[in-house]
Structure 1
Amino acid sequence: MLIVGLTGSIGMGKSTAAGRFLERGIAVFDADAEVHRLYSGPIAAEIERAFPGATADGKVDRGKLSSLLLGKPQKFADLERIVHPRIRAGERRFIQAEHAKGAPIAVLEVPLLFEAGGYGTVDVIVVVSADEATQRARVLSRPGMSESKFATIRGRQLSEAEKRARADFVVETGGTVASCHSQIDAIVDKLKGRDGEAYDRYWRD
């Protein structure tokens, strides 16, 4: 099985790219969706102990948590120590299930693939990327987003140039959805028939 890592900075179009992989019949593990699931209850108490005031009604309030983290980059390490092992466990369940089905390709959609060291767990890396103006417009249009929050998020991510340099494929997402889909289709066609080593190296046990 070939394991594809799909990544990109905030606002770069990962969801659109992931959606196209799904349309092509390739399963995708969405790390952000897993975080939402975990925040809805499974790790809320642990988050509250580490970040008092970050939860409400037994769930993590992402707005409150973001406020507690804003301007305190050192606190992200505390959050990551709680969240990342759970994300990796979810990825393992997903990859092993897809392997058991005989899936030829599986995709891990992970925003911080490089930053969290996950690049060693995949066979192929696909980076979605757009120009800075497009990224900024997309992100700042999101509810609850601010310039300071955007700056904090970007400060935790590798530069666009470095991500592009480390990618096996770069998908340009500054244009139309159709263009993005066309680029994903071309990548899928190139990957057909390829086998990978990441499953045996990292995910089997």
Structure 2
Amino acid sequence: MRWIGLTGGIACGKSTVSRLLKNHSIPIIDADEIAHEVVRPASPGLKSVVHHFGNEVLNEDGSLNRRKLGQLVFGHPEKLKALESILHPLIRAETQRRRQVLLDMNAPLAIYDIPLLFETHAQDQFDAIVVVTCTKEQQKERLRRKNGWSEDEIDMRIASQIPTQFKEKEADFILENNRDEQHLLKEFHRLLAWLEEQKKQT
């Protein structure tokens, strides 16, 4: 099975591309989905996060307040490292379980949607890497529109990730999401054709 990493900078449109792939029945394992699952209410993962960061990262209903946690760790490398040391082993274990299911089904190809592929130095784990890109100004505008974050929050989130230019150099396929929806769909169909070629290499 060809194991393809799908990544991109924050607000570059990776999640949109992932949804389009799902609509075409291409197997996707979503790291963000798993990251939410391992800190669901009453889970061991959430208990570990609360033990380290305190009850202030919880909502009233006992769920994780992700924005509050983000404000605590972004811009503070030691706190971010502590959070990653809690979450990443849990995410890896669940990812491996889901990947094994696809292997057992003899899927010719599967995609791992992973925002921090390069930040976690996971390049060597993949047969090929797809990077979704856009300009930095487009990232900022999308984050303002979607999340209502302050300029400081936006700058910290972008700065916490490896620059897009580096990711593009390391990519096997670059999907440019820097224009309108019609252009994105054209790029997506180019990706589908590339994935068909990948399947032939299994």
When normalised by structure 1's length, the TM-score is 0.89
Structure 2 stretches lacking a partner, 5+ long: none
Query: Aligned-pair distance for 1:78?
Result: 0.1
**Pair 1:190-2:194 in alignment:** yes
**Pair 1:97-2:104 in alignment:** no
**Pair 1:159-2:163 in alignment:** yes
Structure 1 stretches lacking a partner, 5+ long: 197-205
Counterparts in 2 of 1:31 and 1:115: CA distance versus 1, 3 Å: same
Query: Aligned-pair distance for 1:70?
Result: 4.3
Mapping for residues 174-189 of structure 1, pairs under 5 Å? 174-189=178-193
Aligned to 1:142: 146
Aligned pairs, number: 196
Aligned equivalents of 2:78, 2:119: Cα separation in 1:
15
Aligned equivalents of 1:60, 1:34: Cα separation in 2:
14
Aligned equivalents of 1:194, 1:59: Cα separation in 2:
44
> Aligned AA for 1:2?
R
When normalised by structure 2's length, the TM-score is 0.90
> Aligned AA for 2:119?
E
Superposition CA RMSD, Å: 1.6
> Aligned AA for 1:46?
S
Mapping for residues 3-152 of structure 1, pairs under 5 Å? 3-41=3-41, 42=43, 43-52=45-54, 53-56=56-59, 57-152=61-156
Q: Which moves more between the two structures, 60-69 or 72-81?
A: 60-69
Counterparts in 2 of 1:179 and 1:94: CA distance versus 1, 3 Å: farther
The SS at the match of 1:125 is: strand
> Aligned AA for 1:105?
L
Instruction: Give the conservation status (yes or no) of the 8 Å contact 2:4–2:126.
Output: yes
Aligned equivalents of 1:85, 1:19: Cα separation in 2:
26
Instruction: Give the conservation status (yes or no) of the 8 Å contact 1:20–1:181.
Output: no
